[in-house]
Amino acid sequence: MSGDDRPVGRVLSRRAAVVLLGAAGYAALAGRPRAGSWAAAQGVGPCVARPEQTEGPYFVDEALHRADIRADPVDGTVRPGLPLELAIVVSRLADGTCAPLPGAQVDVWHCDHQGVYSDVRDPRFDTTGRKFLRGYQRTDAAGRARFTTIYPGWYEGRTVHVHFKVRSPAERRPGYEFTSQLYFDDAVSDGVFAAAPYTGRAGNRTRNGGDGIYRRGGSQLLVTLEQAGGGLAGVFHVALQGV
């Protein structure tokens, strides 16, 4: 069993019921979204219930307010990998309608091209004090939080994934909180991992269908990606109820 299967975190005094909207409206050009694509991403579709998933053992509340999470702020080094523009659009669900939710804090964290997380001790590595591939953004007036990162690598026992958390801003806690994971099509990962710096890994890579966490609703958390500015880009919608 993967360590990611161990829930970590606090239980809020008041938790919001949360649903996720399916992936929609994705595109970017030269590292920046095309206006038309972002406008489409803001469109409100049906609010469909999706699963919450484990936070896992690697969440660290670094309080790093930044959009580009590739660099380690300790020394400025940038983790290598295929650029990934990821946007999470947060909405409020009430009375059967969805509206943008500004001011929500969206945290994103994931492993690097070698399957390593920052600022944790693990049987495979010790990266204490490093802070790469972690950060948060506040959603804007349209409910959008945008991140520039790299396509995640993999480690044995887990398929390729990105962790995310949507919660009240610090000054409004306790409040709502929702934690889950995003996934990508295996065929996309196959193509990414065929090129440097992802090549040469030892061990067996777990695909989506072989991941026990993915099997608990991961098909509803897939992000559709397309080529964009020398990398990939995708958008995912999250709707919160009771906030």
pLDDT mean across residues, the chain:
82
| pLDDT band for position 70 (cuts 50, 70, 90) | very high
152-189 in b/e form (b: 16+ CB < 10 A) is bbbbebbbbbbbbbbbbeeeeeebbbbbbbbbbeeebb
| pLDDT band for position 26 (cuts 50, 70, 90) | very low
**So what's the pLDDT on residue 109?**
98
- Going by the DSSP 8-state scheme, the letter that residue 206 receives in this structure is P
The domains found in the chain, sorted by start residue, are 3-241 (2.60.130.10)
62 pLDDT above the threshold of 80: yes
| pLDDT band for position 92 (cuts 50, 70, 90) | confident
Mean pLDDT of 210-227: 95
Alpha carbon 31 to chain centroid distance? 18
Q: What are phi and psi of 97, to 5 degrees?
A: -125, 160
| pLDDT band for position 209 (cuts 50, 70, 90) | very high
Mean pLDDT of 28-52: 39
**So what's the pLDDT on residue 87?**
95
23 pLDDT above the threshold of 60: no
Of 76 and 12, the one with more pLDDT: 76
**So what's the pLDDT on residue 15?**
33
**So what's the pLDDT on residue 22?**
34
